[in-house]
Structures are given as C-alpha cells and as structure tokens.
Amino acid sequence: MITRYSLFAALLGATLAAGAPAGASQRAIIRFNPQAPLQATPSSEDEQTALLRMLDEDDPTRRNRLITDFLIQYPTSEYMHMLLQSRWQIVLERNDDPQDLIEAAVEGLEAYQYFMESKLGFIDDPDSLDEYPSTQYRFKNQELQYYQSMVDAYAQLDEPERINEYVDLALATADETDAWFDRLGDETEDVAGMDAEAWAEVSRNTRMFLLNTVRNIHVADENEAGVVEVTERMLEIVPDDVELLLFAATALAQQQAPADEAPATLQARMERALAYADRAVEGVDLYLLRADVSEEQQAGVMAQLYGTIGLATAQLGDWTAAAEAYRAAIDATPMAPNLHYMLGIVGANSNDIDIALPAFARAHFLAPDVPDIRATLEQIYQASEGTLDGLDDYVQSEGASLGN
C-alpha cells in the first residue's frame, strides 16, 4: 500500500522525469479556483489507480491529459498543488515563453497557498505553528521558488514595475524561509537536504540574484542613485566581494550630481567611494588569482580601481594622491588615453607642468582625433615653451615611450 505522503513524493518525481507536455498551450488548460467548493478526494483505491496511471505513462501528451482529467474532477483537492507544481517545473526547465512561466507560477502558487491554508486550518492557536517548522519551511521555500521564477520571467518581458513587486515579495519570503530553516535544528539535513552552511550559500545566492535583477533595471534607466543603493544592499550580504566594492566605488565617484551640490555632500560621497575602493584594494590580490580572471581582465580591474581612486581624490582636491593613483592605473593599462588625459588634468589643476605636459601629449598620441585633447595640449605646450614649434615631434617622442 502506498502511503499518501510517499505517493506525493513519487508523483512529483515521476512527473518531472517524464518530460514536458507537447506544447505550452496544453499546459494552461486548468486554472486553479480557490473559491470553488471543496471537492472530495478520491477513494483510496481510485486514488492510487489514477495516480499510478500517471506515474506509468511515458508519453508526455497523454500524461498531461490524465493530469488534466484528474484536475477537472478534483479541482480543489489536496493533489492540485502537486500537479500544478509539476507543470510549473516543466515550463521552468523547458525555458518556455516567459508569459507561460508566469501563468504556471501563479497557478502553482495559488494552489499551494490554498493547500497550506487547508492543511494548517485545524490549528486554533497561531502560536502553535512553531510546532510545525518542517511544514512551514517547505511552504515558504516553495513560495520563494515561484516568486523567483516570476522575477526572471518579468525580467525577460522587461516589465520593471512587476520585477520590483515580485523582488520585494521574494525577499520577504526569503527572510521567512530562513527563519523557519533556523528552527529546523537537527532536522535540517532530513528536511532541507543540506546543512546550515550550504543553506546559507543558497540563501545568499537567492538574494544576490533578486537584487542584481533590480540593479540591472537601474543601470538600464541610468538611475545612478538607484544603482548605488542596490549595490550597497548587495554588499551587506557579501561585504568582501571585490567586484561589488569596485562597482560601488566607481558608481559613487562618477555619479552625476546637481550643479549646486553642497561641498559637504560631495566630500561625503567621495569619502564613501574611497572607503569602498580601499576595501577592494585589500582583497584585489586574492581576486586576481582566480582562475576565471584573464590577464586582460586583471589589467582592466586594476585600471578601474586606481582610476576610481584617482577621480575621487581629485574631486577632494588631493592632487598628490590623485596623480599617484592615475599613474598606478596607467601602469595597468598604458594604452588608455582617458587615463593619461585625467593625469594631465590633475597636473594642470596642481600647476605641475612636469605632470600635465607629457600626460596630455601621450593622451593625444593615443587619441589623435579628439579635438579637446589637442586644444588642451596646445595651451599647456604654449605656456611652457612660448611657441607651438616642435609640438608634433614632442608628441611622437612621448608616444614612443609608452609601455617602456
């Protein structure tokens, strides 16, 4: 005799393994209706016969029809959420149309919530829910998976408002899932299939996926303040992530501020940028040892890191630190004209012709078609030499020294 709960597990496993329905339209036949009157579940014998027929059916189209027939007959039975969860998982694995994925997730979520309300409805005292951590954990974890798939689907459909809506729901559900996992105690391996350390990694990755989806929206909208805010939320989860630290530092340093920004506000923003950059410097050597970081990427990271430090210190008026930082960035990528140009700006602002003149000359050598660089170089050269004679030879000489 197959018990009810072992049959649940067997049904879900076999449904996922059997493959997807022939078409997405065949999946979306039954819509869960929580307002429908409760249907009696099949008798034990009929129940086993019907479900075992589904388990034994290899043809996905026929299996889908059998499931549909079952759902028509018992539209609010306790098996509804199992079957709709299976359909959602199939659509998820097939990477079908995102609208189909949303529909499948909504169906599964509504049915699962109805099932859990019915399952826990016999409990009179809400405080006694604490006695059922494994049930609550499974419930919240499944809810979380539905919300994640909806976030992903709405991201594919480029619907920012719905993305934000379901990210908020998912993050709140993730907090609840974590809380119930913590209450499992010695049952974590049996119920969740992983220990606390493994769960912490899963939970962390879930939140990072959700927040990164929102951050991508802000990047696309050029919402610099939004990018910084979400990146800082991500750093609360992974405080030593070099890429995130560098992203936050760069976003703060390059953020377009209003023309009337108060000096104190600018200073505070640059100090935040430098704080993130300093933390990135502390971990960058270990980061560069990663096998998936190529030499070209290593150079780019170092150039961005020290270029950001140069920009922030320059805006704070610390020209010595800015020049040092830009030189370090140039050492990483000597053929980047923008870095030479910024070093020239630092030299000009600090009235150091020995920094400004060769830096602008090298920038012009690398980007000869940018008129602003040429115009600035001419002004600096004229002020230094009293004439423009020999300027082109000087540019060639400085250009030839690059990389040496």
pLDDT digits (tens, 9 = 90+) for 69-82: 766 666 656 667 77
Residues in the chain: 404
CA distance 224 to 118: 46
Query: Within its chain, how far is the Cα of 209 from the centroid?
Result: 4
pLDDT of residue 119: 66
Structural contact between residues 20 and 90, judged by C-beta atoms closer than 8 angstroms: yes
Rg from Cα positions in the chain = 30
Domain ranges of the chain: 1-30+42-121, 132-221, 239-333, 340-404
Distances (CA, A) of 207 to 88, 193, 196, 256: 22, 20, 16, 28
Q: Which residues contact 401 (CB under 8 A, 6 or more apart)?
A: 362
pLDDT of residue 126: 52
Please give the full DSSP string across 55-77, using - where no structure is assigned. Answer: HH---HHHHHHHHHHHHHHSTTS
pLDDT in tens, 73-118: 666 566 677 777 777 877 787 776 899 889 889 888 888 887 777 6
What crossing angle do the helices spanning 263-288 and 295-315 adopt, rounded to 10°?
160
Q: Nearest-CA neighbor of 339 among 353, 327, 354? A: 327
pLDDT of residue 8: 32
Report, as ranges of residue numbers, the positions in the chain whose pLDDT lies below 50: 1-30, 38, 40
**Angle at 379 (CA atoms; ends 373, 383), nearest 5 degrees:** 145
- Percent of the chain at pLDDT above 70? 76
Structural contact between residues 313 and 274, judged by C-beta atoms closer than 8 angstroms: yes
Q: Which residues contact 317 (CB under 8 A, 6 or more apart)?
A: none
Q: Which residue has the tokens 């169906």?
A: 107
pTM, full prediction: 0.74
Structural contact between residues 245 and 228, judged by C-beta atoms closer than 8 angstroms: no
Question: What would the two tokens of residue 217 be?
Answer: 């929206």
pLDDT of residue 330: 96
CA distance 120 to 130: 12
